[in-house]
Amino acid sequence: MAGKHEKSCGFKTSIGGQALIEGILMRGPKKQAIVCRTEDGLVEKVEDLHLLREKYPFFGWPFVRGCVTFIDSMVKGMQALTYSASLVPLEQQEEPDKIDKWISEHFSAEKAEKLIIYVAVVLGILLSVFLFIFLPTFIVTAIKPLTKTYLLRNLSEGVVKVAILLGYMSLVANMKDIKRLFSYHGAEHKTIFCYEHGKELTVENVRPEKRFHPRCGTSFLLVVVLVSILVNATVRVANPFARVGVHLLLLPVVVGISYEINRWCGLHDNKLSAILSAPGKWLQHITTNEPDDDMIECAIRAMQLVIPEEKGSDAWGT
């Protein structure tokens, strides 16, 4: 099997994944694979990756690549989720909302599918802006003692952001469908660990691996929130609407810095990297669950489909 690495070498792969509806997305350096479990067995979909930085090197520059990667991951992740949802039996599928119905009625099937995905991405970004920029700003503004100094105000907004993130994750984690999604998330992490430890990708080898991975996308979200606290500490604007505007302008800076921190932590094993990655691992106690063997099989197959032929070409940081 491809990808034999000795545990002692500390190999770290750039292959990452995402939990889907009854499936897994794995993304390697050259291609991505979606593997979902249906009533008829495993369904596989493999696509070649065409990265923007390959055509425009500027988008691969430090602090620029973070925003590009984040948006690209959101779009491809939403496409994969939509695909996995389409494999669910018709009687189990939810009715499309009014926006989706309107788009489907006014555009061709191919254009409608793309438009629905982009609308979902935009709505996701707007929801994040509301929850983590607009809402904290106005909550703290309404509590006058917290606005006495800019330092107190910025710290208070930061605390509210963390509380919203933890509260939101805890709330959705108790939903039945999300529990299964988070179990697939755990299967993804365990499979990546097994591969990095140089073990054969079997259910028996994957099962005992840890489900808390330092290079998780969930960890990245928490890093973004924490970095925003530090970056926004420089904002000395009292008007809440002006503060929201400045925070929006600083958002690409926050994402860029967060990506570089995540990337650096992935390349190093020391006390500082352990400290920086610790909050993300704590959050994964909420966003990952122990998977069953069927879920692990999905993750293993998705991983096998994206492991590059050239050994080590998927090393983290390459």
Quickly state the pLDDT bin for 251 (edges 50, 70, 90): very high
Give the C-alpha separation, 100 to 118, whole Å.
11
Quickly state the pLDDT bin for 5 (edges 50, 70, 90): very low
| Mean residue pLDDT across the chain | 89
Look at residue 2 and tell me if it is in a domain: no
Quickly state the pLDDT bin for 257 (edges 50, 70, 90): very high
pLDDT exceeds cutoff 70 at 253: yes
At 7, list the tokens: 């545990």
How does pLDDT run across 147-192, given as a tens digit for each residue? 999 999 999 999 999 999 999 999 999 898 899 999 999 999 999 9
pLDDT exceeds cutoff 90 at 119: no
Q: How many domains does the chain have?
A: 1
Element (H, E) at 16: strand 16-20
Non-local (6+) Cβ contacts of 44 within 8 A are 33, 34, 35, 301, 305
Structural domain range at position 116: 11-88+97-306
Check residue 91 and give its pLDDT. 67
Range from 33-42, 211-220, 301-310 carrying the lowest mean pLDDT: 211-220
Look at residue 238 and tell me if it is in a domain: yes
Look at residue 81 and tell me if it is in a domain: yes
Query: Can you say whether the dihedral through the CA atoms of 54, 59, 65, 67 is positive or negative?
Result: negative
Let me know if 258 is exposed, middle or buried by CB neighbors in 10 A (0-12, 13-18, 19+). Answer: buried
Look at residue 19 and tell me if it is in a domain: yes
How far is C-alpha 226 from the geometric centre of its chain's CA atoms? 16
Look at residue 314 and tell me if it is in a domain: no
Q: Express as a percent the part of the chain with pLDDT over 70.
A: 95
How does pLDDT run across 11-29, given as a tens digit for each residue? 899 999 999 999 999 999 9
Check residue 57 and give its pLDDT. 86
Look at residue 318 and tell me if it is in a domain: no
Check residue 3 and give its pLDDT. 41
pLDDT exceeds cutoff 60 at 9: no
Give the C-alpha separation, 107 to 130, whole Å.
29
Look at residue 115 and tell me if it is in a domain: yes
Pairing relation of β-strands 31-38 and 41-48?
Answer: antiparallel
Q: Which amino acid is at 199?
A: K
Non-local (6+) Cβ contacts of 166 within 8 A are 283, 286
Q: What is the pTM of this model?
A: 0.88
Contact 302, 33 (CB under 8 A): yes
Look at residue 217 and tell me if it is in a domain: yes
Contact 196, 13 (CB under 8 A): yes
Non-local (6+) Cβ contacts of 141 within 8 A are 147, 240
Give the C-alpha separation, 314 to 32, whole Å.
13
